[in-house]
Amino acid sequence: MDAELPHARRDSIAARLLNGQPVVATALASEFGVSEDAIRRDLRALAAEGRCRRVYGGALPLSPALEPMAARIREGSDRKGGLARAAATVVKAGEMLFLDSGSTNLTLVEFLPEDADLTVVTNSVEIAGAILRRQDLRLIVVGGLADPFVGGCVDAAALQTVARMRFDHAFLGACSVSAEFGIGAFHFADATFKRAILDASRHTVVLATTDKLTEQAPHQAAALSRVDLIVLEAATTAEQRSLLERAGCRLLITPND
Amino acid sequence: MDAELPHARRDSIAARLLNGQPVVATALASEFGVSEDAIRRDLRALAAEGRCRRVYGGALPLSPALEPMAARIREGSDRKGGLARAAATVVKAGEMLFLDSGSTNLTLVEFLPEDADLTVVTNSVEIAGAILRRQDLRLIVVGGLADPFVGGCVDAAALQTVARMRFDHAFLGACSVSAEFGIGAFHFADATFKRAILDASRHTVVLATTDKLTEQAPHQAAALSRVDLIVLEAATTAEQRSLLERAGCRLLITPND
DNA sequence: CCTATATGTGCACGATTTTGCATGTTATAG
DNA sequence: CTATAACATGCAAAATCGTGCACATATAGG
């Protein structure tokens, strides 16, 4: 890994951080064969670009990817409620739905119409629990080896299971959303699984909190053209919206309350 | 968890607190390999930021969501906790376990040995959630159509899945336990599923609170001879025990504390 | 060819953060 | 009330940081 180009070294460090790995300044210095000063300058630059969090001794990834699902559940469900309420309006009675893992989709459960004879399929353990608590929903659990970071099953077994299903609406969890990169995921297996969901569903909906639009995720799950509808908060800029629309997406803006 | 970075250590502690887990200063010190002074400084800093409540011996989360559960574990005074604590002793490092649905088995999750390289398979949504919260356990979810009464999957798909597995220990949930009728279940599909579990496991353990011995369930899952070990409370009578023993079961009596 | 500029690097210096230990104090259990 | 464990505080050592500066390299233009 002896890169002559300074820029390559910085990219390499950035890639690790994007993957959720913390980095130690001294270790990087010896690994790349440069002084700690050079590494420190890299880390400072990356932090200035908002690509990591500078801490004493090195740097930490700022994306919540490295914190397991359980820790992410409790935060910020207020704003997500608006998104979920708006997204739930696309659901019709008798449909078969898929809810991908993600805290936003967890919020969606309580806004699904009541007694509408819905069948809900999910690979998320947490979401399955929420659905089970609502006794008017039929629940199908997608099993497999559970990924603690994703909070559900995205392995080959799960992929095979959903490949034999056909959803009316799939609510995809997105770690990042952008016009160029499309729907991003923090983990490779998760991205692959999301593609399988896309293939298995007639309509795909993505709930995107505003922070998802600036987030950077290393793996592309799908291009935006594959997504039928993106639900956005009212706090998004007109530029952000037009970019997504030009990428071929219908938008649903949450009414401010 | 080699946290070279001081700030990463603080984040890790903060994540646990956010999860509702209380933390003990001395335990954290040995876990992270630093002196208690460093931990105390971390906890003081977190408390100053309003991210936890400082108490003698450690710190408590502000949100008391999971606190009652954690308190129960410490005291060990809960009846099911005693059963679970005793049952967990049969588990050895590296094993593959099955946890059947049931509130007693849910309690068992907290008592499984830590960092023992365990793989836990379950068909219960609730238990899967508890396992996922423990980051040292590998979780395999048995999927399928979830039965709202059972709280998990006991359909044909689930049955097929476990038929291709081999467990070192299966912890069977029992709706009733008796010498003549064996292990009883309230639902037909659940009883069928339990038999599949029996076929797939080398050792079968049943945790039976005393009320299960007088309960009557309509479906027989299996005869007692198929069960290797029954864990009982100390409050059982000598007659109850001898009846079960004569049916061919090894008994483990919870020590009273 | 020479020079100007930009970029990256390493080193030196003082400032900051973190740590472990010693001190005395306070809380909890019996 | 007493013993023990946990606590806060001060302090010195170590690690890390930020900044200024000198040097090297590359590119572009005169």
pLDDT tens for A36-83 read 999 999 999 888 877 788 999 999 887 554 455 544 544 444 567 778
Shared domain for A249 and A180, answered yes or no, is yes
Give percent of chain B with pLDDT exceeding 90. 53
Q: What is the DSSP letter of A211?
A: G
Give the distance, in angstroms, between residue B60 CA and nucleotide D2 C1': 29
Measured distance CA(B245)–CA(A98) in Å, rounded: 48
Helix (H) or strand (E) holding A32: helix A25-32
Instruction: Please check whether residues B94 and B217 belong to one and the same domain.
Output: yes
Nearest CA to CA, how far is A219 from chain B (Å)? 24
The CATH number of the domain holding residue A161 is 3.40.50.1360
Q: Tens digits of per-residue pLDDT, A144-203?
A: 999 988 999 999 999 999 999 999 999 999 988 988 889 999 889 999 999 999 999 999
B169 falls within a domain: yes
Domain that includes residue B247, residue range? 76-253
Residues B94/B120, Cβ–Cβ less than 8 Å = no
Q: List the end-to-end C-alpha distance of chain B, in Å, as a whole number.
A: 34
Asked if residue B1 is part of any domain, the answer here is no
Q: Is residue A181 part of a domain?
A: yes
Sign of CA dihedral B241, B244, B248, B252: negative
Which amino acid is present at B70? A
Number of domains in chain A: 2
Q: Are A99 and A175 within one domain?
A: yes
- Residues of B near A (Cβ–Cβ under 8 Å) read 4-8, 11, 15, 18-19, 63, 65, 125-126, 128-129, 131-133, 135, 138-146, 148, 151-153, 158, 161
User: What does each of the 257 residues of chain B score in pLDDT, given as a tens digit?
Assistant: 455 788 889 988 988 887 678 899 999 999 889 999 999 999 999 988 888 888 998 998 875 544 444 444 444 446 667 788 889 999 999 999 999 998 889 989 988 988 889 999 999 999 999 999 887 899 999 999 999 989 999 999 999 999 999 999 999 999 999 988 999 999 999 999 999 999 999 999 999 988 889 888 889 999 999 999 999 988 888 888 888 888 878 888 887 55
**How long is chain A?**
257
Angle at A6 between CA A4 and CA A11, to 5 degrees: 110
End-to-end, the C-alpha distance of chain A in Å comes to 53
Rg over alpha carbons for chain A, rounded to the nearest Å, is 20
In angstroms, rounded to a whole number, what is the distance separating the alpha carbons of residues A76 and B81? 33
User: What is the DSSP annotation of A80-143?
Assistant: HHHHHHHHGGG--TT-EEEE-SSHHHHHHGGGSPTTS--EEEESBHHHHHHHHHSTTSEEEE--
Is the pTM here over 0.95, yes or no? Answer: no
Same domain assignment for residues A154 and A180: yes
CB atoms within 10 A of CB A211: 14
pLDDT, residue B183, reads 94
Q: Are residues A21 and A110 in the same domain?
A: no
Residues A58 and A95 placed together within one structural domain of the fold: no
**What are the residues of chain A with a beta carbon less than 8 Å away from any beta carbon of chain B?**
22, 24, 27, 55-58, 60, 67-71, 74-75, 125-126, 128-129, 131-132, 135, 138-146, 148, 151-153, 158, 161
